[in-house]
Homo-oligomer: A and B are copies of this chain.
């Protein structure tokens, strides 16, 4: 029986026999009896197994090491007066796989740094155990949100021949050990995608509302706590939608995801609140219940200018790219809540974003939230063929490789918008975990590829 099932039905199982499998989290021997905290992976908290001296292999059981896999046959006993609502009184305990002495997760706490060297064992340590279930729950929140609203999920490709996506440095994909790409597997240079957006736009112009959710890659040689070389991204795209519609969708999605995780992973969120970030449940609940403000980039610059001197970088001017400290100042000090900054200078944003009537800004939005700064980036896309191709020419982006993308504007194009949510960043935001290496099962960063 799964422990999850048992926890849901223990009241009706009082005094009945059950068979459970799981791993030993602690094993304490007392006088004439012992206690095993058992966890089978299906719920965050352990259940208590009591074994008495009368047990055939009492001595063996009392020596079962932490981490071992066992099978327990026993009686469910409801314990209304105890800390835990029920316990299992064991009639049989079998060892399925003993955990050997060099098991890295012993009782003393181990630092995150050390944990990153053992990605095959750390999921059993509490922080990771909570995190990787939250990761699964958040994934399902995303899918449920979009599928309930009729969005079509599109698997955009990981390997791409577009050299001009422009979102960052790329990994080459090859079967050769030189650069003769014309003789390579695909007959040309191939690389790992940095974004599914360009590839998903044709699907928005077919299904109206679509989303991607898959891995993306950056070959940037930067070692920060917020960047990984491989990460998952959600990129929705909405046809017949302008920037305001886009922001409505972002706001609804973020709130939905927060509520979904609070509801479906309450034990995990309570753990993060207790052990990682004492404010995390309050912080995300506040966001879920707030109305997201909208503020122009120009107004944000005015606020920042007034606060000059408070930042590490105090070179504040219209046209600058905001850094994390500036973003956090805006949402934490000025707004005290989530805020969309909109209408950024066109020079600091991507070529496909729609130019506003002022011809100086583009219809872009970044969602800034307290604690982390930017969480989502979106924009209305440039749907005017002439404006788009002129801009590409100005930026010296070769039109030839993206002619297909430009052609979408000639084949029944319409206004459309979309955004990108970094899935791993959202997990950091929800949990308060500070390093992206601790929210991914097998993080990949420069010079770091464990297994």
Q: Which residues of A contact B (CB under 8 A)?
A: 2, 4, 21-24, 40-42, 67-69, 71, 96-100, 102-103, 118-121, 123-124, 129, 132-133, 135-136, 139-140, 143, 147, 150, 152-162, 169, 171-175, 177-179, 185-188, 190, 192, 198-199, 202-203, 205-209, 214-215, 217, 219, 221, 229-230, 232, 239-240, 383, 404-405, 407-415, 440-442, 444, 446-451
Contact = CB atoms under 8 A, between A and B. Distances in A.
Contacts of A444: 157, 159, 186
Contact of A185 (B187, B441, B447): B447
Nearest to A171: B173
A36 to B, nearest CB: 13
B404 A133 contact: no
B179 A177 contact: yes
Given A449-B188, A451-B162, A207 B119 contact: no
Given A157-B444, A173-B192, A186-B448, A202 B412 contact: no
B449 A161 contact: yes
A179 to B, nearest CB: 4
Contacts of A404: 118, 120, 451
A157 B230 CA distance: 8
B202 A119 contact: yes
A55 to B, nearest CB: 21
A116 to B, nearest CB: 13
| Most chain B CB within a 10 A radius of its CB, from A2, A136, A160 | A136
Contact of A174 (B69, B154, B171): B171
A311 B391 CA distance: 61
Contact of A123 (B21, B97, B178, B202): B202
A404 B442 CA distance: 13
A365 B199 CA distance: 37
Contact of A411 (B71, B103, B209, B441): B103
B41 A239 contact: yes
Contact of A442 (B185, B199, B221, B448): B199
A43 to B, nearest CB: 9
Contacts of A40: 208, 240
A23 B103 CA distance: 61
A441 B139 contact: no
B199 A441 contact: yes
Contact of A407 (B98, B120, B139, B188): B120
A67 B414 CA distance: 11
A441 B156 contact: yes
Contact of A152 (B132, B157, B177, B209): B132
A123 B413 CA distance: 14
Given A153-B136, A441-B157, A412 B119 contact: no
Nearest to A138: B153
